[in-house]
Amino acid sequence: MNKVLLVTGGSRGIGAATACLAATDGYDVCISYRQNRTAADSVVHSIEQQGRRAIAVAADMASEADILQLFDEVDRQLGPLTALVNNAGILEPQMCVADMTFARLNRVFSTNVIGSFLCAREAVKRMSTLQGGSGGAIVNISSGAATSGSPGEYVDYAASKGAIDTMTIGLAKEVAKEGIRVNVVRPGFIYTDIHASGGEPNRVDRVKALVPLQRGGQPEEVAQAVLWLLSDKSSFTIGTFINVTGGV
């Protein structure tokens, strides 16, 4: 059976690393992106260079219509979905809760939580053995922030990732009997450009002394954990958290 993976937010950072690593493991890959078509095309090219099929689809995770179209494109261009990585997420500028606006909170939770729920819903519909599918795997990308709370910086982002953790536990138990395994990876301080969205591009260098390994992580190190959870090597693993945090 052909392996088909959807990686949301796959044009950069952890998503891009996961998509490219998946291609080496025999997956055809769809990545979604919000704005940067050039970066998305670069990832597609890298995957095609490995002899796998790849497509990039523009989709805002805060839009149900975009998500439905995204999954329709996977069906049409790549075939039956066998794996999903819920990676897309946004970060707003560093701020205390007392200063957060409704609009900010709505953006963060609509994208990071509701978007992930909708993608999981559509994946389950396609992969469930009770609905004619052949089973599959979902890996949700959470964050070490879900346990630290990110006080003074990103409590809203941290809370959205806490919601992803809880969703993973419940969904894993809900769909295990339908042939779908659901797990989560929690990255720590990883060198990606998401930190620039928070107003501090060099944040990892500032905080890496807090990491027992005394360094920040690379997207490829997170991708390795994701691919293990997608693979048959983790066939008896559901509702599990892998912390890729350097010991934080």
Q: Which residue has the tokens 């075939």?
A: 79
From the candidates 27, 154, 157, 191, which is the catalytic residue?
157
Q: How far is CA 242 from CA 87, 221, 235, in A?
A: 15, 12, 15
Distance CA 110, CA 58 (A): 17
* Residue whose C-alpha is closest to residue 84's, from 165, 6, 193: 6
CA distance 180 to 174: 9
Q: Which two tokens stand for residue 161?
A: 């990732």
Cβ pair 64, 118 in contact under 8 A: yes
157 in catalytic set:
yes
Catalytic residues: 157
